[in-house]
Amino acid sequence: MNDLRNLVSTLVDKHGRDEESLLPILQGIENSESYVSQEAMVEIAKELNISAAQVYGTATFYSFLSIQPLGKYVIRVCKTITCSMHGKNQVISELENMLKIKLGETTSDKRFSLLETNCLGQCHKGPAMLINDEPYTDLTPEKVREIIRDIQQKEFAVN
C-alpha cells in the first residue's frame, strides 16, 4: 500500500496534478503494476482532486489499461482483417499451446497474458502482435515458438 502511494505520488510529481495528467499517470501505474488496482485509482483520485469513479471511467475506456492483474509479458495479437486473413488463428493456437492458457488468460506464474487487440498498424507484415510495447511481425507458428522460447530462456536465466 505504501509502495503504491509512493508510486502514485512519484507519477503525480512527474506529470502534474491537473486532470490532464490522468492518462500518463494511469499508464505509469499500468507499466509498473501490470494493472490499475482499486487502491491505485482511489489514490490517484485523491491526488488529482477528482472522484474515484471518474478515474475508473477513464481507465475502463482504454483497452491498454487493465483493471485485472496481467502477466509480466502481455501479448496482444492483432485480430483485424489482414492479420486475420494471413494466419492470426494459427498464431494464437501456437501461443495457447506453448503457454498452456486460453485467449484472455494469464499463466499461473504471472509471466504471460494472452490477449487479442485491434489493428496494430503492421498490416503489410501481418500477422502481427505486440509483446508489451514491442511489435513482432510476419508471424508464423515457428517464429512464435522462437520468440516465446527466447523470452522463457531469458526469464529462466534471471531466476
Partner 1 sequence: MEKKHLKRLDLIFKNEHDTEEILAKVLAKKNEEIINDLIISGLKGRGGAGYPTGLKWKLTAEEESDEKYVICNADEGEPGTFKDREILSAVPHKVLTGMAVCARVTGAKQGFIYLRGEYKFLVPELEKAIAAFHNLLATLNLDFSVSVFIGSGAYICGEESALFESMEGKRGEPRNKPPFPTQKGYKAKPTVINNVETLAHTYSIFKYGPEKFHDLGVKDSHGSKVFSVSGDTPIPGIYELEFGMTLQKFVDDFADGDAKAVQVGGASGFCVPRKRFEKTVIGYQGTLTGPSLPTGGSMMIFNSSRSMYNVLHNYLDFFVEESCGQCTPCRVGTQQLLLGIQAVKKGEKPSLYLDKLLSLAETMRVTAKCGLGQSVANSFSSIVENFREEMIY
Partner 2 sequence: MKVNLTIDNIAVSVDEGSTILEAAKQVSIHIPTLCYHEDLCVAGNCRVCVVEQTGTNRLLPSCAMPVSEGMDIHTNSLKVRAARKQVVELLISEHNAECTRCYKNGKCELQELSSEYILGDNGFIDLIPFKKYTIDNFSPSIIKDDSKCIRCQRCVRTCTELQSISALTVAHKGKEMKISSFYDKPMYEVVCTNCGQCVNRCPTGALTEKIYIDQVWEAICAEDKHVVVQTAPAVRVALGEALGMEPGEIITGKLVSALRRLGFSAVLDTDFTADLTIIEEGNELLQRLTKVLKDGDTSVKLPMTTSCSPGWVKFIEHTFPEYLDNVSTAKSPQQMFGALAKTFYAEKLKIEPENIVSVSIMPCTAKKFEADRPEMQSSGYKDVDFVLTTRELALMIKQAGIDFLSLPDDEYDSIMGQSTGAGVIFGATGGVMEAALRTAYEVVTGREVPFKNLEVTPVRGMEEVKEATIKLENVLPKWDFLEGVELKTCVTHGLTNAKKVMEAVKSGEANYHFIEVMACPGGCLGGGGQPIPTNLQIRQKRTEAIYQEDRLKAIRKSHENPEVQKIYEEFLKEPLGAMSHELLHTHYTVRNRQ
Contact residues toward partner 1 (CB under 8 A) are 18-24, 26-27, 48, 57-58, 61-65, 79-82, 84-85, 117-126, 130, 133-135
**Cβ nearer to partner 1, comparing 34 with 58:** 58
Residues 6+ apart with CB under 8 A from 43: 4, 5, 8
Residue 17 CB, shortest distance to partner 2, in Å, is 15
Query: Is the CB of 11 or the CB of 88 nearer to ligand FES?
Result: 88
Interface with partner 2 (CB under 8 A):
38, 41-42, 45-46, 50-57, 60-61, 67
What does the DSSP assignment read for 10-73?
A: HHHHHH-SSGGGHHHHHHHHHHHHSS--HHHHHHHHHHHTS-HHHHHHHHHH-TTS-SS---SE
Alpha carbon 125 to chain centroid, angstroms: 21
Question: What's the min distance (Å) between Cβ of 122 and ligand FES?
Answer: 4
Beta carbon nearer to partner 1, 64 or 97: 64
In the complex, minimum distance from the CB of residue 36 to partner 2, in angstroms, rounded to a whole number: 11
Contact (CB, 8 A) for 79 and 129: no
- Which residue, 17 or 102, is less far from partner 1 as judged by CB? 17
Binders of ligand FES among 66-85, rule CB under 6 A? 78, 80-83
Closest by CA position to 39, among listed 89, 74, 16, 5: 5
